[in-house]
Amino acid sequence: MISVDDYFKGSEKHRTLELDAVAEAMLEKVEGLREEAEADGIYFYRDPDTGTEISGAKGGSGAGGFRPQNSTTGAALSAHKTAHAVDVFDVTRNFAAWCMAHLDRLREHGLYIEDPRWTPGWVHLQDVPPRSGKLCYIPASTPALADWPPQWQA
C-alpha cells in the first residue's frame, strides 16, 4: 500500500491538510486498482531509490509522488503538483500490461494512465482527466522512451 507519507516523501514542507485530503482520495483509487491486480497475480516491488512502491529518482527524492510547483521534473502542469497523480514502481512492466488489459477497471476506479511506452519502469496513474480526455494518453510530443512492454509482443 502506498501511504500519504510515502507520497509526500521528500516534499514534506509542501504538505497541507487540503493536499493530504486530495492525495488520500487519489491513493485510495490507486489502491483499489492495485488490489485487483494483486488478486490476478501482479506483485508490487519497492523502488530501491525511494524505499517505497513509488517510482523516483536516485537518492530517494520521490519525484513519482508529490511534486512542488517549482519542480522541474515532468510537465509544467503535471497532476503530481496538485496531488492527483502517482508513479507506481513497475520494473517488470507487469502492472502496465495488466492495466492495459483491464482499462475498464481503471475507468471504474476513476483513473487515467499514461501510455506505458512513455513510462518504462513505472505506471503513471492520475484521477483527473488529461487534456485529451483519453483514458490512456500520450503524455508528450517527444518520442516514446520504450517499446511496448514485452508482455504485449508476439
For the domain with range 4-152, which CATH number is right: 3.30.499, 3.30.460, 2.60.40, 3.30.1380?
Answer: 3.30.1380
Indicate the SS3 state at residue 133: coil
Helix runs in 15-150, H state only: 17-39, 94-101, 103-109
**How many Å apart are CA 24 and CA 27, to the nearest integer?**
5
The pLDDT of residue 152 is 64
The pLDDT of residue 11 is 87
Give residue-wise pLDDT tens across range 130-144: 999 999 999 988 888
For the chain, give every domain's residue range.
Answer: 4-152
Give the mean pLDDT of the chain.
90
Give residue-wise pLDDT tens across range 8-51: 988 889 999 999 999 999 999 999 999 999 999 999 999 998 88
Considering the entire predicted model, what is its pTM? 0.93
